[in-house]
Amino acid sequence: MARDPAEAPRELLLLKLLPNLVSILALCSGLTAIRYAIAGNFALAVFLIGVAAVLDGLDGRLARMLKSESAIGAELDSLCDLVNFGVTPALVLYLWDLQGEARLGWIACLVYAVCCMLRLARFNVGSRSPGVAAEKTVFIGVPSPAGALLALVPIYLAYATDSQVVLHPFFVAAWMVAVGVLMISRVRTPSMKRITIATDNARYALVAAVVFVAALMTYPWVTLLATCMTYLAGVLFLALGALRKSQRG
């Protein structure tokens, strides 16, 4: 009996699975960061969270380039983000400095992880609702990858100063909660998606990127700390601009 052509299995280019593979690799990187944090290697744990953040930025772009965007890909990306940027940073910080204040530290970890979950849920609803503007030119609230890198600032500070400046667990917990609040806030934060530059200045942007990567490789902790402070300055600039605009209106 001849097989109905309509029942023939659909074929999929193997290359179109690449975005989902990148998402899975990001998840593996985030989970491995927890393993190294348990072993006490917090520098490598931070590095792996950074790798997860880079991979998170690649998977969506790859999906658009390969025209392989799908509902399951979006779900994978969101679930991986919750683990990599919600659960993992919380556990790394808890193992690093919060066990001395176990109850307070654990509450801060729970608050941070829940805020990350709510931030991702809000973004997913906004991106799928036709009546809600997508976050393209700016983000509403700190996005989860940036939130994870901000949450780890106490670790950057300790390594940058050779452990001469180590924040008390109370301040680390307070910092985590503050970052969590920024993620679920309505504060506008910078987005790299729509930044444009003049064609004549492209070479300067490339040189600046090389300088940044070189600084990150040579002075990783100072560079990460400075980057986070610059990002927070950008958030403050946008917030002040929005406040002035509302006052004029």
Give Rg (Cα) of the chain. Answer: 20
User: What mean pLDDT is predicted for residues 139-168?
Assistant: 92
Question: What is the domain range of residue 161?
Answer: 12-248
Domain-located, residue 79: yes
126 within 8 A of 69, measured Cβ to Cβ: no
Q: What is the CATH number of the domain that holds 143?
A: 1.20.120.1760
3-state secondary structure at position 53:
helix
58-98 residue pLDDT tens: 877 777 777 767 777 778 888 999 999 999 999 999 999 89
Computed over every residue of the chain, the mean pLDDT equals: 85
Residues for the chain: how many in total?
A: 249
Shortest CA distance to 227 belongs to which of 163, 152, 168?
152
Q: What string of DSSP letters covers 151-185?
A: HTHHHHHHHHTTTSS---HHHHHHHHHHHHHHHHS
Neighbours of 143 (CB within 10 A): 22
Domain-located, residue 7: no
Residue 149 to residue 143: CA distance in whole angstroms: 10
List CB contacts of 59: < 8 A, sequence separation 6 or more: 19, 20, 22, 23, 26, 73, 77
Domain-located, residue 116: yes
Q: What is the pLDDT of residue 107?
A: 95
Domain-located, residue 94: yes
First and final C-alpha spacing in the chain: 74
Q: What is the pLDDT of residue 3?
A: 53
pLDDT band at 193 (very low <50, low <70, confident <90, very high): low
115-59-69 Cα angle (round to 5): 100
pLDDT band at 1 (very low <50, low <70, confident <90, very high): very low
pLDDT band at 8 (very low <50, low <70, confident <90, very high): low
For residue 139, the cross-strand partners are 189
Domain-located, residue 48: yes
Residue 233 to residue 50: CA distance in whole angstroms: 21
Q: What string of DSSP letters covers 85-143?
A: IIIHHHHHHIIIIIGGGHHHHHHHHHHHHHHHHHHHHHHHHHHH-TTS--SSSEEES--
Pairing between β-strand 188-190 and β-strand 138-140 as defined by DSSP bridges? antiparallel
Q: What is the pLDDT of residue 87?
A: 96
Residue 241 has pLDDT above 70, yes or no: yes
Domain-located, residue 104: yes
Domain-located, residue 235: yes
**62 or 37, which is more confident:** 37
For residue 140, the cross-strand partners are 188
Count of domains for the chain:
1
Q: pTM for the whole thing?
A: 0.87
104-152 residue pLDDT tens: 999 999 999 999 999 999 888 876 665 555 555 578 889 999 999 999 9
Domain-located, residue 5: no
